[in-house]
Amino acid sequence: MTAPVFTLSDEAETRQRPLWLQVEDAIVRAISAGRLKPGEQLPGEHQLAEELGIHRHTVRRAIESLGGRGLLEVRRGRGTFVAARPIAYRVGGHSRFTGNIEAAGLVPSARVLRSGIVKATKDVADNLDLKPGDKVTALELLRMGDGIPILIARHYMPADRFPDFAERFEKIQSITKTFASYDVIGYRRRATRLAARQPTPQEAVDLRQPRSAPVLVWGSVNADPQGRLINYDSSVFAAARVSIVIEEED
């Protein structure tokens, strides 16, 4: 007879905890024991509640909590899935999104969220050695691995040098190759900053994660081989889906 995937603990100490936390523990045990694999779909709330003999709202609270911790992914219209293991995302002078995603065995893709010529904010201007109000080409992308959102990338380039960068990217689908179309070969990351915060409502929607789940905010500046600043990248990672690896430079 097959053992049930989910069971509530019969330990006295555990049973004194709120019921939704006991359900959370049962799901975590199933994942840790390998009874639920990364990417596997959980039973629906009704089925899980019936299996455990509890109310479905208790199950929902446990699932929402585990979603906020990054252990589960609730995909609208599809159900609840065990989150994939975090991708080892390498940060170095020449590391790129596509290389990181392919190294994880996933297929990279991107969708343009917003683009256009805009006036540089003080933050963008400071990072590109421009004046606030100078024109920059803005390109905001949702970058994915196997269709799962990994990060929102916000790129800013001097508009006088890269006026149609967004249009070229939509055809080429690679930041590195789009720069190459301007004869910028072998650009290098000069600085990177990382910080954590809660996502905005729109970021949570785009990344398909709860607002309670944190994001990593990445700010980096790239320069061409001649040392001219070409790109300020202000990106937002779904923190539970990546493990940042800082590579030492030679």
Domain with CATH 3.40.1410.10 in the chain: 87-246
What fold characterizes domain 12-82? Arc Repressor Mutant, subunit A (1.10.10)
- The predicted model scores a pTM of 0.73
Domain with CATH 1.10.10.10 in the chain: 12-82
**Cα 179 from Cα 51, distance rounded (Å):** 55
Residue pLDDT, tens place only, 148-207: 899 999 999 999 999 999 999 999 989 999 999 999 998 888 888 889 999 999 999 899
Higher pLDDT, 18 or 127: 127
Selected from 3.20.20.60, 3.40.1410.10, 3.50.50.60, 3.40.50.10380, the CATH number assigned to the domain covering 87-246 reads 3.40.1410.10
Residue pLDDT, tens place only, 36-59: 888 889 988 899 888 888 999 999
Pairing mode of beta strands 79-82, 72-75: antiparallel
Residue 2 confidence class, pLDDT cut points 50, 70, 90: very low
